[in-house]
Chain A
Amino acid sequence: MTSYDDLDRRLTAWLDEEVAMHAPIGLLESATGRVARTRPLPGWATTERWISMETRALLGTVPRVLIVPATIGLLAALTAGTIVIGSAVTTGSSNGLIVYQHASGDLWTVEPDGSDPRPLVESDATLSAPAWSPDGRSVACWPTATGRRGSDLIVSDADGSDANGSDPIVVASDVGEITGWGLPDWSPDGTRLAFTAATSVTTEGDCSLKGSFCGSRVFVAASDGQTDAVQTGDPDLDARTAAWSPDGSTIAFGAGDAAGYIRLYAMDADGSNVRQVSDLQGVQWALLRIDWSPDGTSIVGTSGHPEWDIWIFPTDGGRESNVSAMDVETLLVDQLFPTYAPDGAIAWWRGGDGLCGCLTIREGAAEPVELTEGTWAPTWSPDGQFIVAQRQDSDGELIIIDRSGAVQATIDGVGDASFGASWQHLGR
């Protein structure tokens, strides 16, 4: 009879015997070639800068700990008949498919309840930052093509009838490094896409000091690809993260100097009448992501320094208000990535002494409520009842939660989820 008490020794010996001593021929060349075609992120845009390896290791069990109370809460709610999983589908509301970058680099979708993951758009390139069109019939994204200097912005037919056959339309070609939030922003009528990207223009001083959007400008592309993208707005103003107003008349953006001060600007949709919306100024993460209120009367964004808070900027020139710093404690933590729900609620990520990332929402004038830890980059469902967001301690997971914070589903096998996912509108 064999004894297995010496398993440790046997394992070590087996692994030593089994191990490959050298990488295959060609692997180094292939790896260095792919790295050469990859753009590094600015340091401040990586989670490593803000959360140390040790902290992430400490957070390793948080999601599992959350599963139990979330499950209990969900069961209790189901028993009480207050919520139904997948209500977005059964009640005929406007939630469609969630599109995200799969680990394979293709675009995949899941149903609103997180089920049925399947490929939507496949490509030899890695498809990043997908964004559904307002009518839910197309998806725009950035393919990271091999061997090219710049990226193309493509729009793919996405009716789901053919995962492979539709040829995407190139609506902007050879675009410089994408700046800001990264997702192209569709005009409300679906005819145009706005984005910000680096140009060869550099302003005075050192770009390494000015931040990642030094020389970046606003571009607008026609979604049918009939005309190429055009640079618009102030030719001398560094800009990032363009966002259309709900009526399509205005484009808002963050602008200025990342090492100095970033302020909120707006311009008419044709690029004229560039104006500063607010004197409030921030640094680094400030206005990295901005979002218009559904009624178009305000814009939400992160601003401030040295800590970041969530600010609402009235578009009529009124005084901006801090909606996230309720007390000294919340004033001293960083708050980022705000986004409006259709009913005007705001979701964002709230740090906590650098130890946790808490998805937080504020409904109306109520105080913010922390929903779930370890989650950021929220995106609302079209009906405003759910949020899809990235698991902060995992590079490969998205979760769907409801407004009480109960986890409805986990989507794994996700590629780069840094910018969350996009949720399809139905019935428009």
Chain B
Amino acid sequence: MAGDRDAFTELQRATIDKLYAIARLILRDGDRAQDATQEAYIAAWRRLGGLRDPDKFEPWLRRLLVNACYQESRSASRRAKVEGRVRSIDIATPDPALQSADRDELAGALEILAPEQRALIVLHYHLGLPMDQTALILGLPVRTVKSRLHRTKQQMRTTLEANARLPLTAGGTP
């Protein structure tokens, strides 16, 4: 048992940065992302004995993380954490091609998506996973993932276009 736990700790060490990054993108909240990351590891540890194919560990862990993010976003009564937390988030150098206003617009459009939609966006666009891998992690048929992605992007386009028109309808003031 101790050996298993040591091995699992090594797996945590190797995966925690990426897992936290995914959770933070889905939840848009550092504290909740920490909670979701921890819950995913606990679920993985509890259920590890049932994993039949070790090659599936990474997508399986990501599925547990996505589920933990859903749970976290649903939780309406999170208790305040007693212990202080150090937020240490290194932000990569901004892409000069991405203008500040554009970033804000995209952030706003993502913000209003459901966590399920953001998970889809993060897995497909940030991790670059193909549809079948995205579907596997989300626990959905590929066809469903494709149609959801289409609808999600359509929703984002609508939001972005509506935001772009707002200043004009308000009188054209910047």
**Chain A residues in contact with chain B, CB under 8 A?**
1-2, 4, 7-8, 10-28, 30-32, 34-36, 38-50, 52-54, 56-58, 60-61, 102-104, 106, 119, 122, 124, 393, 395-396, 412-413, 415
Taking a contact as CB atoms under 8 Å apart, the answer to whether A19 and B126 are in contact is yes
Residues on A with beta carbons closer than 8 Å to the beta carbon of B63: 53
Bound Cα distance A49, B53 (Å): 10
Q: B38, A14: Cβ atoms under 8 Å?
A: no
Please list the 6 inter-chain residue pairs (A to B) with the smallest Cβ-Cβ separation, ordered nearest first: A46-B50, A43-B49, A48-B50, A60-B140, A49-B50, A23-B20
Give min CB distance, B82 to chain A, whole Å.
9
* New A-B pairs, 16, CB < 8 Å, besides A12-B125, A27-B34, A49-B52: A4-B161, A19-B24, A20-B17, A26-B85, A31-B38, A32-B12, A35-B9, A38-B46, A46-B49, A48-B51, A49-B50, A60-B138, A60-B140, A103-B74, A104-B75, A396-B67
Main secondary structure of the interface of B (DSSP, over half): helix
Specify the chain A residue showing the minimal Cβ separation from B67.
A395
Q: In the complex, A14→B106 CA distance in Å?
A: 8
| B45 lies within 8 A of A21 (CB) | no
Task: For A12, give its contact among B60, B70, B76, B126 (CB under 8 Å).
Answer: B126
Whether A24 contacts B20 by the Cβ 8 Å rule is yes
Are A34's CB and B41's CB within 8 A? yes
Residues from chain B with Cβ under 8 Å of A24 in the complex: 20, 30, 34, 85-89
- Nearest CB on B from A20, distance (A): 4
A11 engages B121 (CB within 8 Å): yes
Find out whether the CB atom of B37 lies under 8 angstroms from the CB atom of A31.
yes
Which of B4, B33, B86, B121 is within 8 Å of A26, CB to CB? Answer: B86
The answer on a CB contact under 8 Å between B45 and A35 is yes
B58 CB, nearest partner CB in chain A, Å: 11
Inter-subunit contact A14/B107 (CB<8 Å):
yes
**In the complex, what distance in Å separates the CA atom of A34 from the CA atom of B60?**
20
- Bitwise, B108-127 to A at CB < 8 A (1) or not (0) is 00000000000001100110
| Known contacts A53-B60, A60-B141, A395-B67, A27 near B46 by CB under 8 Å | no
Known: A26-B85, A40-B48, A52-B52. A7 touches B140 (CB 8 A): no
* Cα of A397 to Cα of B141 in the assembled complex, Å: 19
Task: Please indicate the chain B residues that have their CB under 8 angstroms from the CB of A35 in the complex.
Answer: 5, 8-9, 12, 41-42, 45
Q: Which residue of B lies closest to A212 (CB)?
A: B49
Task: Kindly list chain A residues whose C-beta atoms are within 8 Å of the C-beta of B38.
Answer: 27, 30-31, 34
Q: What separation, in Å, do the CA atoms of A27 and B48 have in the docked complex?
A: 21
Give Cα A36–Cα B1 distance, bound, in whole angstroms.
Answer: 10
The complex places the Cα of A12 from the Cα of B136 at a distance, in Å, of: 21
Q: A residues within 8 A CB of B4? A: 40
A149 CA / B14 CA spacing, docked (Å): 28
> By the criterion CB–CB under 8 Å, are B25 and A15 in contact?
yes
List B contacts of A47 (CB < 8 A): 47, 50
A124, B107: Cα distance in complex, Å: 34
Q: Are B85 and A23 in contact (CB under 8 A)?
A: no
* Alpha-carbon distance A415/B39, docked complex (angstroms): 11
B50:A17 contact, CB within 8 angstroms: no
Bitwise, B1-34 to A at CB < 8 A (1) or not (0) is 0001100110011001101110011000010011
Which of B20, B37, B144 gathers most chain A CB within 10 Å? B20
B92 CB contacts on chain A under 8 angstroms: 16-17, 19, 21
Distance (whole angstroms) from the CB of A197 to the closest CB of chain B: 17
Contact present for A60 and B139 (CB under 8 Å): yes
Quote the shortest CB–CB distance from A407 to chain B (angstroms): 19
Complex CA–CA separation, A21 to B157 (angstroms): 28
B25 pairs with A18, CB closer than 8 A? yes
Name which residue of chain B comes closest to A37, CB basis. Answer: B42
**Which of A31, A56, A103 gathers the greatest number of chain B CB atoms within 10 Å?**
A31
Contact of B20 among A27, A43, A53, A122 (CB under 8 A): A27
CA gap between A122 and B103 in the complex, in Å? 41
Known: A27-B37, A57-B135. A7 touches B157 (CB 8 A): yes
C-alpha gap A49/B79 in the complex (Å): 34
